[in-house]
Amino acid sequence: MGEVASQPSVQTFERKATGLVRSAGTWDVLVYNMNFVSIGLMAVLVFLFSTAFYPGANLYVMVLLTFAAVVPTSLVFAFFAAAMPRSGADYVYVSRTLHPALGMMSSWNNTAWWFMYGGVPSAFFAYYGVAPFFSVVGERTSTHWMVRFGNWCNTPLGAFVVGTSLIVVLVVVFIVGLHFFFRIQNLLFVLGMISVALIVITWLVQGSGSFAHNFTAHTGQAFGPALDKAASKASYGESGPFSLKWTFLAGTWVYINLVFNQSSAYIGGEVRRASRLQLWSMPAAAVVTTSILLILLALADKVVGLHTFGKIAAATGLPFTAVAAQGVSSTVLAAFILILFVPFSYTWLPGQILNASRNFLAYSLDGLAPRKLSEVHPRFHTPIYSLVLVGAGSVGALWLFTHWSAFAALVGIFGFILGFAIVSVAAIAFPYRLPDVFESSPVRWRLGGIPVMSILGAVNLVALGFMAWAFWTDPSAGIEGKLSTKILNFAIFGSGLVIYFAAKAIQRMRGVDVAQRFKEIPVE
């Protein structure tokens, strides 16, 4: 209806009223999303798996293809965050646009997988944070108890104990002092980035000969035929001619991190003008983290060679931080690289615990979960029962992850994709189902008369289709060939509907109509 003004903007005048605050800092929202993407874990997984087990994969092309697949998802969430600037993300978007039952289905799917993934990063804390530091520094300083402890952390029992300790500490911290955690979170982010920066600087100045010499000296792993033999024994995917299929499949390890660049949709609703911030902060987080990954890949290529890196990863199982640390002559530098990386080894975990507990609180307030879960501690004002429940679920998932090979790191991403698909359908329908909200939103753009949001939803469905195929097909993803994990993904996806209708029946007996929760009151 309107046209773009060519004259200077007309000002809006505000009166003095409560709630008129300045928007959240762009840096804060960016950091939040980057923390969820987790640059460190993304690099660990790419160097450990994508380099090693995907013959013919071009890792640079892989990163760019995965980035392209992620962008539509992040834009769909960003558009929704701008149009419905409320916390809760898909629970609100889908419930209001399609149906509360589908909103619960989508949201519960995420909550359940956050439960599960509480186990994965807490195990990563043991495998890629604590163990490498103690093992490498212990070996290089001949401190045997450190070596023994590092090795123990890599056992199922060790990872379970260390990971459980982290979960317990975080849950207690979240119960008694969320502010304290947030204060140190930025510091931990900086420490992790210093570790990555040390690796970047090291690889920038280091030659391949120096790396190979140091690495062999410290690990005893020779290069050349010896490495080839060891890698081959560990199922290294021999490099061959370029393969688009394996290139795409190798991207599953990037996607598992990068697709969570939309996490600020869950928290960013309360602040005025945050909606516009969301529109660019989500893709920006993807751009920044992808760029850092590309820089790391290019430098590793220069110093080690990506094929050689893949062989090292397959033969030794060392994360890239440990590979970089063992490639330097200075033990102090190696120790700094590894100890500073520890906060990056579990960065998914705090957000998962918080988001899942927030969702339980919301379900409880909406009558979809026991009322106890929305009770807050009288002194600390935190949802203590929700947090304890999520903590207990995470410990259970950690045991599964450390003791059951079928429950691999990528198992649940297929489930997340199913949830994202519902949000995409909601995005397609949103301009037509809620035209007033759409027309009053800052994203009411059209292309050829079709709402851009609907187009994005459709494009995202295609992108999600590709990624669903990748996770279904990828032999490392934990789904391919495993009926139990396939069933688990669909069972969790469908369980939200079961919970919704069960809660609805229980509440109806109490005289409460749960379906009323999101029903819109007529205007006229």
Partner 1 sequence: MRIYYAGDIHGSEKCWRKFLNAAEFYDADLLVLGGDLTGKALVPFVRRGDGSWAAHVLGRDEVVREEEALAELEKRVRFNGFYPYRCDEEEYARLAADPGHREAIIREVMRQELARWVEIADAKLAGSDVRCLVMPGNDDEFDIDSILDSAKRLENPDGRVVRVGPYQFLSSAWANPTPWDSPRELPEDELEAKLEGIATALEPDMPAIFNLHCPPYDSGLDLAPQLTEDLRVVTTGGEQVLVPAGSTAVRRVVERHQPLLGLHGHIHESRHAATIGRTLCVNPGSAYSQGVVDGVLVELNGDRVIRHQFVQG
Residues 255-274 that bind partner 1 (CB under 8 A): 264, 267, 270-271, 273
366 binds partner 1 (CB under 8 A): yes
**How far apart, in whole angstroms, are the C-alpha atoms of residue 250 and residue 56?**
10
Of the pair 66, 357, the CB lying nearest partner 1 is at 357
Of the pair 31, 104, the CB lying nearest partner 1 is at 31
What does the block give as tokens for 384?
Answer: 């203590």
Single-letter amino acid code for the residue at 403:
H
Of the pair 238, 513, the CB lying nearest partner 1 is at 513
The least CB distance from residue 473 to partner 1, in Å, is 35
Of 114, 237, 245, 276, the residue at the interface with partner 1 (CB under 8 A) is 276
**How far apart, in whole angstroms, are the C-alpha atoms of residue 397 and residue 49?**
22
Of the pair 336, 518, the CB lying nearest partner 1 is at 518
523 binds partner 1 (CB under 8 A): yes
Of 172, 365, 406, 450, the residue at the interface with partner 1 (CB under 8 A) is 365
**How far apart, in whole angstroms, are the C-alpha atoms of residue 250 and residue 49?**
8
Q: How many CA atoms lie within 13 A of 489 on its CB side?
A: 24
Of 205, 209, 225, 510, the residue at the interface with partner 1 (CB under 8 A) is 510
345 binds partner 1 (CB under 8 A): no
The runs of H, that is alpha helices, within 125-177 are 131-141, 144-153, 156-176
Of 372, 439, 447, 487, the residue at the interface with partner 1 (CB under 8 A) is 439
440 binds partner 1 (CB under 8 A): yes
441 binds partner 1 (CB under 8 A): yes
The least CB distance from residue 85 to partner 1, in Å, is 7
Of the pair 27, 404, the CB lying nearest partner 1 is at 27
506 binds partner 1 (CB under 8 A): no
Q: Which 157-216 residues touch partner 1, going by CB under 8 A?
A: 179, 181-183, 185-186, 189
Q: How many CB atoms lie within 10 A of CB 167?
A: 25
Tell the residue number behind the tokens 């929305």, with chain if given.
374
Of 333, 392, 408, 437, the residue at the interface with partner 1 (CB under 8 A) is 437
Of the pair 324, 503, the CB lying nearest partner 1 is at 503
Binding pattern to partner 1, positions 384-403, x when CB under 8 A? --------------------
Single-letter amino acid code for the residue at 22:
R
447 binds partner 1 (CB under 8 A): no
289 binds partner 1 (CB under 8 A): no
What does the block give as tokens for 5?
Answer: 């003004």
Binding pattern to partner 1, positions 67-106, x when CB under 8 A? -----------------xxx---------x----------
512 binds partner 1 (CB under 8 A): yes
Angle formed by the axes of helices 348-365 and 156-176, nearest 10°: 60
Size of the chain, expressed as the number of residues it contains: 524
Of 204, 376, 447, 505, the residue at the interface with partner 1 (CB under 8 A) is 376
**How far apart, in whole angstroms, are the C-alpha atoms of residue 6 and residue 150?**
65
Q: How many CB atoms lie within 10 A of CB 23?
A: 15
Contact 416, 144 (CB under 8 A): no
Q: Residues touching partner 1: how many (CB under 8 A)?
A: 73
The least CB distance from residue 298 to partner 1, in Å, is 28
Q: Which 4-63 residues touch partner 1, going by CB under 8 A?
A: 4-7, 9-25, 28-33, 35
Q: Which residues pair with 447 in a beta bridge?
A: 450
Of the pair 142, 379, the CB lying nearest partner 1 is at 379
Q: How many CA atoms lie within 13 A of 484 on its CB side?
A: 6
Of the pair 365, 462, the CB lying nearest partner 1 is at 365
Of 240, 317, 435, 442, the residue at the interface with partner 1 (CB under 8 A) is 442
Helix (H, G, I), strand (E, B) or coil at 518: helix
Of the pair 164, 263, the CB lying nearest partner 1 is at 263
509 binds partner 1 (CB under 8 A): no
Can you say how many angstroms the Cα of residue 354 is from the centroid of all Cα atoms in its chain? 13
**How far apart, in whole angstroms, are the C-alpha atoms of residue 284 and residue 293?**
14
Contact 503, 367 (CB under 8 A): yes
Contact 257, 409 (CB under 8 A): no
What's the longest Cα–Cα distance across the chain?
A: 79
The least CB distance from residue 392 to partner 1, in Å, is 23
State phi, psi for 269 to the nearest 5 degrees.
Answer: -80, -20
483 binds partner 1 (CB under 8 A): no
Q: For residue 199, which of 289, 319, 61 has the smallest C-alpha distance?
A: 319
